[in-house]
Structure 1
Amino acid sequence: MADNLALSDVSRETMTQLQLYQDLLVKWTSKINLIAPSTIESSWERHVIDSAQVFKYVPLGALHLVDIGSGGGLPGLVIAILAKERMPGLAITLIESDQRKAAFLRTVARELDLAVSIKAERIEAVTDVRADVLTARALAPLLNLLSYGKQLLNDDGLALFQKGKSFQQEISQARTSWSFDLQEFPSETDDEARILQIKDIRRVIN
């Protein structure tokens, strides 16, 4: 399982923690909707590896990463597990308004001894957080994500948004309301997907 580029150089302890997280993710999915049941059998690649690949785009000097719409902790908890070994000074905040999902996030954080802060609030209501890095996976159209980015990012911060095959359409739509610097990175788990690195988000004045 460590052959994937995203996990090519992690320690045995980190790999064990990722596997424990996967076990908890699957176990809780039988009670609440964390991942689609059809993806349980392929959850290591579809969810864990897919989230882990984001970590390599987190700048070394980042101090605070915020994951919005964390759900089952993808990618936020996976990043927290990797950061525990590689970037122990990185503060991580997970924002998830669903109370049951927030309870899952707290359970994993406690059982794996992860230093994460969990806010069980709607994203729009969070006004006391500023991030160097903002992450989101399968949450909302890019147009909406940019609004959250403007709200939560430091002026020199960057967003890392995972997008599927419609990413080009979402970029075109978003540019009607926002200007932003964009870099696209290929996904390790889906040839049609991309990781979008976005900086300098500004609203377009028509």
Structure 2
Amino acid sequence: MSEFALPKGISVSRETLDRLQVYADLLERWQEKINLVAPSTIPDLWERHFVDSAQIYSYAPHNVRKWVDLGSGAGFPGLVVATLAHEANPDIAFTLVESDARKGAFLRTVIRELGLNATVLTSRIEATEPQKADIVSARALAPLDKLLGYAYPHLNADGICIFHKGARVGEELVQARNLWSFDVTHKESLIDQESTVLILSGIHHV
């Protein structure tokens, strides 16, 4: 199978690239009606949003069966990861939690058009039934202490969190450890040298 490189050297198949292009086209059309992403990021859509989301796919354990993405918005990172998993790991079921009904409609449209193994829950995170997920992800959603409070009810006993974080990650980690105990691995962001991806495991209340 031929592979094609996204920005920053992430390789995908021609079929996956085609699906991502459909996704990008849909986003740009819907963006004219509702604010899915910051308008200033549209010219750099692939790197700022698609590659930034796609980089976390390789951090998932091989035995993942359920992946929950919180505050999905326009689908970053959860829907991008679902698109990458469509061929290589089609058994992974993705659940996208997004309280905004219009954004939820957009997510469902992309899922339908791309034939992805994903569902959308249009509800507030706090009101969502526990999901028993292997992975919970989120991007630009909340400070880490609050984010762990959102994620913890939706993890299974061995579940992990994968979170995009910015320049204040050190401060956020210190604050989070006042309430939570966890092991953490830092992964350098492919997009921004001041950003990082956190992989958290062994999460429980202090």
- Residues 190 and 149 of structure 1, relative CA distance in 2, 3 Å threshold: same
| Root mean square deviation of aligned Cα | 1.2
Gaps of 5+ in 1: none
List aligned pairs for 1:89-100, cutoff 5 A. 89-100=91-102
Deviates most, 148-157 or 92-101: 148-157
- Indicate if the aligned counterparts of 1:6 and 1:49 stay in contact, CA closer than 8 A: no
What is the percent sequence identity of the aligned residues? Answer: 51
Residue 6 (structure 1) shift:
5.9
TM-score normalised to structure 1 length = 0.95
1:53-202 mapped onto 2 (5 Å cutoff) = 53-202=55-204
Once the 2 structures are TM-superposed, how far is the Cα of residue 3 of structure 1 from its aligned partner?
4.9
Q: How many residues align?
A: 203
What TM-score, normalized by structure 2, do the two folds share? 0.95
Displacement of 1:128 after TM fit? Answer: 3.9
Return the letter of the residue paired with 2:5: A
In structure 2, how many angstroms separate the alpha carbons of the residues matched to 1:75 and 1:33?
A: 17
| Residue 29 of structure 1: how far off its partner (Å) | 1.5
SS of the counterpart of 1:65? Answer: strand
**Residue segments in structure 2 that go unaligned for 5+ positions in a row:** none
Q: 1:57 to 1:13 in 2, by over 3 A?
A: same
Give a deviation string over 1:26-75, Cα, whole Å, max 9, x none. Answer: 22122112110000000100000000001001111011000000000001
Conservation of the 8 A alpha-carbon contact between 1:81 and 1:114: yes
Contact 1:183 1:196 in 2 (8 A): yes
**Is the Cα–Cα contact under 8 Å of residues 149 and 201 in structure 1 kept in the other structure?**
no
Q: 2:81 & 2:21 partners in 1: Cα distance?
A: 14
Q: Residue in 2 aligned with 1:44?
A: 46
